[in-house]
Structure 1
Amino acid sequence: MSQYLLSVPHDSDEEPTMETMDPAELEAALAATGVIIEELTSSGAFVFAGGLTPPSSAITVDNTGSSLSTVNGPFVEAPEYLGGFWVIDVADEEAALGWAARASKALGGRIEVRAFQVPPGD
């Protein structure tokens, strides 16, 4: 089995949160996400999932120099950002792409699929 990250990108022009979303849209999104999580769980593929706060709430920590630095904001500015994700454990990339297709259809948006790295010899 291999673990994959299914990520949900958001446009940076908008920073939706559960508090700012239209209640009907939020309810629909939570229901669609709940169905995917139930299906992943019943298949044994579900590992973990979460929704993230917008990039403007990030704090970047850098302790690589002689002193600790903390800066409000994301470490990189980009046209899109990671809004939420699922970590799944499936047989192969084809299975991960199948789950991504179901999630994309349910949420009405794009899903990025990336495998977790495995150390050589594992």
Structure 2
Amino acid sequence: MPTTLRAAPAVLTTSFRDAGCLPGLRAWIREHVTGDELRGDVELVCTELVTNAVEHARGPRSVVVVVQPGGARIEVTDGSPTTAPVPGRSRFGGEMRGRGLTLVAALSRWEVRRVGRRKTVTALLPA
């Protein structure tokens, strides 16, 4: 009888205060995500969600990245449950603002969950 070995998903979980965590997150993604297109999409979505949490929400903040054969899941949690992210809008003015969630929506299925004093934005990216 043939045996199928399954690799455990690669999982990164970390807390962060500011965008200074992004170089380390990107390095981990480059090491653990296979396929150029998926790797680029995961890196972009992760960067956008983390940056949004830093710019628009209070702490504590954390990110979870799960990479598995079917794609990847990114979860960014922050301490601002009432601040709802909206694609195409930013609370900061300027024509170069508000595009991040539009990109996230184009590259993934995403949702917002609120639990107590926290909110989690989850993005699912297909392989």
Q: TM-score normalised by the shorter chain: which range applies?
A: 0.3 to 0.5
Q: Which has the larger radius of gyration?
A: 1
Instruction: With a CA cutoff of 8 Å and minimum separation of 6, indicate the structure with the bigger relative contact order.
Output: 1
TM-score, structure 1 length as denominator?
Answer: 0.42
